[in-house]
Chain A
Amino acid sequence: MTLFMQALRFSSSRLPFICRRSRTYSTEAGAIERVISAFRSVSGDEGVSVGSAVREQHGRDESAHRCRPPDVVVFPRSVEEVSALAKICHHHQLPIIPFGTGTGLEGGVGALQGGVCFSLRKMDQVLDLHQEDFDVTVEPGVTHRGLNSYLRDTGLWFPVDPGADASLCGMAATSASGTNAVRYGTMRGNVLNLEVVLADGTVLHTAGKGRRPRKTSAGYNLTSLFVGSEGTLGIITKATLRLFGIPESMVSAVCSFPSVQSAVDSTVQILQAGVPIARIEFLDDVMINACNHFNKLSYAVTPTLFLEFHGSSKNMEEQVSITEEITRDNGGSEFAWAEDEETRGRLWKARHDAGYAALALRPGCKAYSTDVCVPISRLPQIIVETKEDLIRNNITGPIAGHVGDGNFHCLIVLDPNDPDEVARVHSFTERLVRRALAMDGTCTGEHGIGLGKRALLREEVGPLAISVMQGIKATLDPKNLMNPGKVL
């Protein structure tokens, strides 16, 4: 009730400016001491850190955004501690920044206004596995690889696989996706329930406490609201996830193409043919070259598709033969197969390491990844135009992407100290996003808005939708303490 009353007092147009203040806590020495001792009484001495190395570690992620360390890092061990710490922050008007594994790509954890980073790594239990119901509940310290390792004897897995070994609750916060999304979906479709702590310490169960039906029509979809909210609406302390059976057979293949157009055309045709392909990833010639060097492989340096088929041994044959016919018709090479666990693992590791492989092309530089996503029928056009743009402007930007979802990344490598290059990259990315938006797409398929894409969000959804989003933010976090300066 209090949240609603507070929301009425703040109009949405003022919201982004409410908490704009300089970092005063370092000057009000007495205040910070009092707050820290209050934190310590909740989480213990080891649960609170003001060490500069720890703060810096919690002020950066894997993006190129510079480190913005918080004033304090706290390490709660339970949802009760998270709630108590949040109440203290709420009382003292301190920004709250949730932190999972720090593997985000959009600067989401930077403490722009200082404040308190809530590192959730001590809450690392897998709770409540229900094998026959295909669901499990996890705490924020559990990563997707950790969960799949835990599940390995059950024949179940959680297929959403972003490149990094990210926290599952963090993946829910950024609505993450991965190479398997074309068949298994993204976090949006695979989170059944969340436990969230709001800015004032209230503990909310978005679908009702402990509930895990596979589908529901009950009320407003609060679970979906928090998925993708990037820490700006609350701290996710539990996620109930949808699991899948590990398929009987998983086989990967590599197919080389004479041109970008033919590779992407094949992708569209494979999807339109209804092949339930599990992974279909595009790598352009620059990317393949980088991967060859970085992972010591020897694929042909030409636009390539990495494919993966899941199914029973019988229906695999059918999937493969339809796909092969399509790729052959588009000038694709014979498939190079990877059937056993080890070879398959090497193939997908090469794909997941694409960012590092790109960086290795120009040591000493920084990497920035674009993330546009368009309807699949527009994919051939946007990738061809983007590649021409990269070449014309002499930008190092190997392309790798989940073309099955219409999503691709230009892994741009640039020297941050070369102002001309920085300017060229900046205008390139603007053109790319506008190109995608003009094709009914989005500026971010899976990485999130974070710090750098807030203006693009406004262009994409329009001022009216932004206004509605701000109203929701004002209702749930009227003091704008939750990860201020991000998303909106």
Chain B
Amino acid sequence: MSQTRTSSKSHDQSPRDDGAELARKLIGKAPVAGDEDVAQWRGVAAEDRADGEMRAKTSAFLKKRSRALLWSLLKPYRWVVLAMVLLVLVENASRLAIPSLVTHGIDEGIPPLKANGDSSTLLTTIAIMLGAVVIHTITRIAFIQISGRMGQNVLLELRRRLFKHFQRLDVAFHERYTSGRVISRLTNDIEAIMELLQTGFDGLITAALTLIGIGTILLFMDFHLGAVVLICFPIVMLVVRWFSKASTRTYRRVREYAAMVIVHFVETMGGIRAVQSYRREQRNQEIFSDLSDRYGHANVTAMRLNAIFSPSIKLIGNVTTVAVLVYGGWRVMHGDMTVGVLAGFLLYLRQFFEPMQEISQFYNTFQSANSALEKLSGVLEEEPTVVQPTSPVPLEHPRGEVHFDQVEFSYVDGSPVLPSLELTIPAGQTLALVGTTGAGKTTIAKLMSRFYDPVGGRLTLDGIDLRELSDDDLRKAVVMVTQENFMFDGTVGENIAFGRPGSSDEEIAAAARAVGADTFINELPDGYGTDVGKRGGRLSAGQRQLIAFARAFLADPAVLILDEATSSLDIPSERLVQQALRTILADRTAVIIAHRLSTVEVADRVLVLEHGQIIEDGAPAALTNQEDGRYARLHQAWINSLA
């Protein structure tokens, strides 16, 4: 703490430089994303060329899309909005009644009181005022409550919709979009919309109503002066148009940089172990500083637009007032109108321009939320390429027969990973896939669990095309365990129960026992109740893998895919898992991808793959004996490596 103290003191000597430099960065020329430093560390990726969000779409299109989203969110509340308008009307009437009642009380109530002690008028006025206060209180509380509830409902609905949508989108989308941006959409953009919903709905309604009401009164009071006031309208419109255009662009930038800051932040914190051990802190700090400055710059630009916009409206109002004053005065001098009318006109004029200020404030929040809505509506419009069937074929009791019918697949057009795969896995068979990196093993696994759909041909389970199965049925039937043993926040038990939510403690423990995970779990401080720590940081990689196995065991699918699922296990654990596998795999179809032949040897059948094609197919023992076969050689190498 003493360090902190000295530092902040000695730092006092040059705070201005610091501020000046940062200020320069914040107000300098707009930094362009993609130039300088930034592009270099980020590298090039396919999505830069065809970004899902910004596919040469016009501003008008984006606006229309986000309005449609806003409308779909607000539609269920249109009657509530109407009720709110009524409430605001009553509320304002009761609020505005007070000053005029005060005047009334003084003008009409006091003279009789003074003259003959008659307080009836005064008392009546006071009684009416009290009534107005009561009405005001009730309507005000009701309004804040109702508008608050509506806002929060809309927000909750939007959160739910987005969350579900992101879960529905396929893996390919997420690989392109990155998690940081998803997080940014679901946190920061939502926050911007919350701002809109929280601030000034009543202000906006009041302002709009006042504007219309007073505008009408002005025209009726004196047409000439009213016309002068109307002249300012086109000017206001021009300013609004300018602001609208300029701020739309700027707020888009704010949102984009906010997302970039979040992406960088999330990645740093997720990979903090690598950051620290490779002394990446400084470079990261440079990148983060750069992104923060850009984000700050975008924010300053947005605020400065508002700093021009709002006073401009004020200026127009002030100038109009002076014009009315001078022109009205001139008219009074020439006897064209009375002083009383001019005085009244000027008073109303003030009330006419005040709500305009309010509207300009609101418009600013609106623009910010609008950019967020644009982003969100863009995401909501993304359709998964892996589509759920509209009328799925039911699969009651899956047997687990998998058939690849001339399946073709490629991640990038023109370089097929699987040229044309013909493969039948009978129900109950344990199949091992062997081959080098890029042979297509993982692709087969991903196709079976429908992370992707084949480009050509069909993939069936019990004769039904995977594309015709409902997601629920498919996931109940096919489960994949990978080496990426993601742990969710919570306890060990909860993480196992992920395989089948709602499992009892006994079932969870039984699953753990079955894969041999119970030994280490029982040694944890709180057994199954031990918190796994962020991303399972409390556990070793091997332990996480055992939990993932228990999870899969609990899920009890007809088809189980193990993609390098045993690579982190040490030998005793692997042995346990292997023993367990015999029981686990006994009555189900299984596909095992492993580079360790010890795991492969559990299989009934081995496929050796190369460039997406099957080059050997047979029982492990048979392949081992094949003269100069690929598998036989691999097996020999493995035997050698053991010694």
Whether chain B is bound by chain A comes out as: no
Which residues of B pack against A, CB within 8 Å?
none
**Chain A contacts to B: CB under 8 angstroms:** none
